[in-house]
Structure 1
Amino acid sequence: MVTIRRTVPGLAVLLAVGLLARLVASAVPGLNYLIVTILLGLLVGNLYGIPDWARPGVRTHKVWLEAGIVVMGASVALDRVIAAGPTILFLVVATVTTTILVVELLARTVFSIHEETGSLLAAGSGICGVSAVVAIAESIDVDETRIAYAAATVLLFDSTTLFVYPVVGHALGLSSTVFGIWAGLTMFSTGPVTAAGFAFSETAGQWALLVKLTRNSMIGLAAIAYAVYYARRTDGDAHRDGDSHHTDGDSDYESADGVPGGWRFLWNTFPKFVFGFLVVLLVANLGFLSEAQITSLSNASDWAFLLAFAGLGLETRLDELRSTGYKPILVVLLALLVVATAMLAVVQALF
């Protein structure tokens, strides 16, 4: 009860920002209310900050995003997902692999960025933004300053691409399907992907979210792969230095089940709300929900996203983004341009 009472003021702030954004968007034809919500949140958060009494409620915006995604499963046509499934999976694996390799290559050979920072940038760009940065950092035991450096870079691109992508999509005359798949494949974090997709169209938003959730599911595998890589490097260095104590099985990267990173770690890093999305999708498509119920769930999803994006804007600090060095920005920018351009051509050819 105390926790609920503490979150109410912040929830009221999120709702106020969202309602004001809807009012502004309705007064200007063609202006999407989700984009306005984020912009208004950015403006309020950076000019006035978030008062202490509102912080507990404002921080629930990630919960609202996940809730909106779960409920939105009722609006997605299962037959369309099944038809595109193998192709989408192939595109996701290809995009994640290519992005990670390109970022790692640029970071290590062109810009001489510390390898651990490069790995965090690669994971954040290739999989799911700051969540991937944190997950990979936990699997390879990275210094906190490197985490902050990589997270700030990813947030900078999140804040930029959620506005740039819809503009580019309209300028190129992309279809809703092509835009949604492209955004889901190449943008970074789930929130901006969702905002950009639905800012383009309802169909684009659904495709963007489907593809992005598929990408998100790879976070655990990537974390284990990085853990194995850095653990082996550590062992190799220890052998060369004559430090036999590193080979006694007590490495920080070893888990109880003997797998570096561990299956438990894989489960812990997996985004659980994906299961909720799949359950709601199946229940709706198997005919257990009426049209009225599906419509109600769709409306609930819209309101959840409204609260989520209001909080996303309020918690984004522009001064923190400015503190990022130019090298990580160049690495991620070049990689994004290469991968986004290539994948757009592929997606247009396939869809």
Structure 2
Amino acid sequence: MPGLTAAAAAVVAAYLLHRLIPWLPVLTIAVVLGLAVANVPGLSSSVSGPLKPGLSLAARRLMRAGIVLLGLKVSLIDIASLGWAALLLIAALVAGAFAGTYLICRAFRLPGEEPLLIAAGFSICGVSAIGAIAAARRVRHEDTVVPIALVTLCGTLAIGVLPLLASLFGLPDETFGLWAGASVHDVGQVVATAQTAGTAALAAAVVVKLARVVMLAPMTAVVGFLGRRQDARSQAMETPTGVEQGRGKRPPLVPLFVLGFLALILVRTAGILPEAALEAAGVVQEILFAAALFSLGAGVRFSALFASGARALAAALVSWLLVGGLGLGLALLLAG
């Protein structure tokens, strides 16, 4: 209970600060608050002591609940309005961004599953994708902190940088919106970036972004399938010939909460919920994510983060440039 109460208080603080600084997303503020609490003398001992159980619960369960509710933002009818050619280009963008980011992170020798998680976050939908892929590969939520911090940092950087570049390049508003939707990570960051150019840019950005969000389910299924095959091969190599293999629990092909995400996409597409309910669900989803991100941030010690953080930050910035370049190319193709 103490940890959950602390997460709730942090959410309230994040919303208050967002009202003072409207261009800074609530989720970014929540991460920063978590990092601050974890590294301020006097508070850090509480985070690693009596607050830890509740914060761990929030980081894991509330993140997954938020991913489920994210499905209510996605209407397949709106996405289909883009046309098959555009959808194929967006799918190619996601695949190219995922593969490119993964290879960049491997080239920078990032440890463990960090290359996979960063690739998912940068190419699909930020924090939501990291949470889903981590569940499919049984990654501890403590090991998702660095990828989440990097995707939050680069997504927030895009809010200020992309409008400046669009003005420099002389991009039309709709083209800029397509670029934001194709290259910025989280949905909230896309909205914060695109709304600087007006409603036309925002509408274009949201539709393209949600088309990327739909890729969360198939990408999670592919990663889950490859994880099961890898575990099966490892078990076969470790099992002596003639000895029956153990029936250990395999990682899920598609985590249950991702199926919930898909189910709510169908609910949104069917149009059976009133607009007021969808708006309320959107607020709840943001609150859940804010609590989860504060809890994850509260588990980060700068000393540990900076131990390998230079390589991770360099890999993230190079990946950000790659995804931005691919997104701009897609925007110019769709606008043309």
Question: Same fold by TM-score, threshold 0.5 exceeded?
Answer: yes
What is the distance in 2 between the residues matched to 1:224 and 1:250? 25
Name the amino acid aligned to 1:66: R
The equivalent residue for 2:254 is: 270
- Give the deviation of 1:46 after TM superposition: 1.8
The equivalent residue for 1:10 is: 3
Which of residues 143, 163, 168 in structure 2 aligns to 1:170? 163
What is the distance in 1 between the residues matched to 2:71 and 2:131? 24
Distance 1:229 1:61, change over 3 A: closer
- Give the deviation of 1:16 after TM superposition: 0.9
1:22 aligns with 2:15: yes
Distance 1:181 1:246, change over 3 A: same
- Give the deviation of 1:137 after TM superposition: 8.6
Listed as ranges, the matches of 1:289-304 within 5 Å are 289-304=273-288
The equivalent residue for 2:303 is: 319
Q: Which runs of 5+ in 1 are unaligned?
A: 1-7, 139-143, 185-192, 239-244, 257-261
CA displacement 1:150-183 (0-9 Å, x = unmatched) = 9676355235313212222332347445323323
Listed as ranges, the matches of 1:141-180 within 5 Å are 154-155=147-148, 157-173=150-166, 175-180=176-181
How many corresponding residue pairs?
305
Tell me, what secondary structure is at the counterpart of 2:28?
A: helix
Say whether the 8 Å CA contact 1:162–1:195 is kept in structure 2: no
What is the distance in 2 between the residues matched to 1:137 and 1:300? 26
Say whether the 8 Å CA contact 1:40–1:313 is kept in structure 2: yes
The equivalent residue for 1:53 is: 50
Tell me, what secondary structure is at the counterpart of 2:23?
A: coil
Tell me, what secondary structure is at the counterpart of 2:78?
A: helix
How many percent of aligned residue pairs carry the same amino acid? 20
Tell me, what secondary structure is at the counterpart of 2:273?
A: coil
The equivalent residue for 1:44 is: 37
Which of residues 294, 300, 306 in structure 2 aligns to 1:310? 294
The equivalent residue for 2:66 is: 68
- Give the deviation of 1:322 after TM superposition: 0.4
What is the distance in 2 between the residues matched to 1:175 and 1:348? 9
Name the amino acid aligned to 2:276: A
What is the distance in 1 between the residues matched to 2:50 and 2:112? 37
- Structural RMSD (CA): 4.3
Q: State the TM-score, normalized to the length of structure 2.
A: 0.69
CA displacement 1:299-334 (0-9 Å, x = unmatched) = 322332332332233233322220117556555544
- Give the deviation of 1:72 after TM superposition: 3.8
Say whether the 8 Å CA contact 1:124–1:133 is kept in structure 2: yes
Listed as ranges, the matches of 1:225-304 within 5 Å are 225=226, 248=241, 265=250, 268-304=252-288
What is the distance in 2 between the residues matched to 1:152 and 1:306? 14
CA displacement 1:241-267 (0-9 Å, x = unmatched) = xxxx98948798xx97xxxxx9x846x
Distance 1:225 1:64, change over 3 A: closer
Say whether the 8 Å CA contact 1:121–1:332 is kept in structure 2: no
